[in-house]
Amino acid sequence: MFSKDRWKEIMEVLSSNVLRTVATAFGVGWGIFILIVLLAAGKGLENGIRQEFNGVATNTLFMWSEKTSMAYQGLPEGREFSFKLEDVDLIRRNVPGLRIISPRNSMGRSDGDNVIRGTEGGQYRVFGDYPEIIEQNSIFISKGRFLNHKDIKEKRKVVVIGNGIRNDLYDTDEEVIGTYVKISGINFMVVGIYKEKSSNGGGEDSERQIYMPFTTFSQAYNRADNVGWMAITAEDGKSISQLNKTILKTVKESRKVHPDDERAIGYFDLYEQYNRVESLFGAISFIAYFVGVLVLISGVIGVSNIMLIVIKERTKEIGIRRALGENPWSIKLQILMESIFLTIISGMVGIIFGSFTIYGINAVLDSVGPVNMFLNPSVSLGVVLIAMGILVIAGLLAGFIPANKAIKIQPIEALRIE
């Protein structure tokens, strides 16, 4: 294998017909190129989707009340109801395995500006929340602080605004912390500014929401102990999807809703949706490997066919070598080495071009800014090593049939061929 003469012979064979060698190598190189680019594109899509979930507690259930669709305990069908703060404690007592239960209230946009600061104003969503909500949302505090339990207990008139609101209502160099904004006619002091962890935002609602203490919201806007909806997160190692039936049952009993009423309580299981997305990642990788390997196989078949032609052209040479007593295994090894060498070199060229293509795509993404649902396409070292392994196996397969044909050539028959 390490014979200088053997490698010299391999180079002479491959360089004897350069055009044929390049055309043959192109099939293998193109197959590896397609495989690398498809896997990188799949990874870019995966990174983009994961970025959307960045900072969000994915093991979370969102639950809200709707109208009942069944009469129950003397109460009519079509009844509207609201969750109560006591339901939060009831769920916490009756459903083990929950980490965070965040009751929430919200106020949507009105016809006019619902938030005013000096001569500036705008329409924004306002939430009444507990401090734990920051652990469930994809936000972080860029300046100041978030809500705390002292705000809740003392019903302080404080708010945390998004960086988008800060840009809408304040001058660039203006100090925000400690100033006041008027929300639906009531003044609140700004104690913090938040930004979103996801880099794929940028829509009109991006960082344009307001958080205030739940108790303050309830008192200021006459919500009493009503709860608009809840964000419920399970402990690590627990599945919220397995706990949601118990949660729904507990709330239905508390609010006197028929146990079989499927429409009275709406919910969104983020954990279930996230698992579906996770399975999508596996499917994307499978498709990328499947398509790439199919293209690679077509290239390998081309290499095998060319090697068969080479064997036919060298029949007399092989016959002479056999007549002079060369070991059949030596001839077989020669053919296999030629096949593997051609396959690996062409594959490496495909990997290099694939790497430059991925680098170019990332450079474009960096220059134009983040693209929604697509981020940092890349391949790991493990993928490159897998590709190299595929190349070695492909080279062996491509050379196996020609090599076997070569050692079956009888010296006498080979010498008769002109």
Cβ atoms 294, 333 nearer than 8 A = no
C-beta neighbour count of 354 within 10 angstroms: 23
| Distance of alpha carbon 13 from alpha carbon 310, whole angstroms | 8
User: By C-alpha distance, which of 294, 308, 390, 357 is closest to 24?
Assistant: 308
| Helices 270-313 & 381-407 angle (0-180, nearest 10) | 30
pLDDT band of residue 370 (cuts 50, 70, 90) is low
pLDDT at 199 exceeding the cut of 60: no
Q: Which residue has the tokens 């912390």?
A: 177
pLDDT at 259 exceeding the cut of 90: yes
pLDDT at 336 exceeding the cut of 80: no
Q: Which residue has the tokens 């929430």?
A: 104
pLDDT value for 16: 73
Q: Considering only residues 383 and 100, tell me which one the structure prediction assigns the higher pLDDT.
A: 100
Element (H, E) at 266: strand 265-269
Element (H, E) at 105: strand 98-107
Element (H, E) at 213: strand 209-213
Cβ atoms 176, 143 nearer than 8 A = yes
Q: Which residue has the tokens 């404690």?
A: 89
pLDDT value for 206: 74
pLDDT value for 409: 64
pTM for the model stands at 0.71
Q: Which of 209-223, 277-291, 299-313 has the lowest mean pLDDT?
A: 299-313
Four-residue CA torsion sign, 237, 242, 244, 248: negative
- Average of per-residue pLDDT across 105-112: 79
**What share of the chain has pLDDT > 70, as a percent?**
88
Maximum distance among all alpha carbons in the chain? 105
3-state secondary structure of 87: helix
Cβ atoms 165, 212 nearer than 8 A = no
- For 50-95, write each residue's pLDDT tens digit: 777 776 778 999 999 999 999 999 899 999 999 999 999 999 999 9
- Average of per-residue pLDDT across 200-217: 80
C-beta neighbour count of 43 within 10 angstroms: 22
Q: Which of 25-39, 205-219, 384-398 has the lowest mean pLDDT?
A: 384-398
pLDDT at 264 exceeding the cut of 90: yes
pLDDT at 31 exceeding the cut of 60: yes
Strand stretches in 79-175, DSSP E: 83-84, 98-107, 115-117, 120-122, 125-129, 139-144, 158-162
- For 282-309, write each residue's pLDDT tens digit: 888 888 888 877 887 777 777 777 777 7
| Distance of alpha carbon 396 from alpha carbon 284, whole angstroms | 28
- For 161-179, write each residue's pLDDT tens digit: 999 999 999 998 899 999 9
Q: Which of 16-25, 95-104, 237-246, 318-327 has the lowest mean pLDDT?
A: 318-327
When the pLDDT of each residue in the chain is averaged and rounded to a whole number, the result is 84
| Distance of alpha carbon 80 from alpha carbon 226, whole angstroms | 13
| Distance of alpha carbon 247 from alpha carbon 252, whole angstroms | 9
pLDDT at 369 exceeding the cut of 60: yes
pLDDT at 401 exceeding the cut of 80: no
The tokens of 29 are what? 């190189």
Q: Which of 11-15, 44-48, 255-259, 405-409 has the lowest mean pLDDT?
A: 405-409
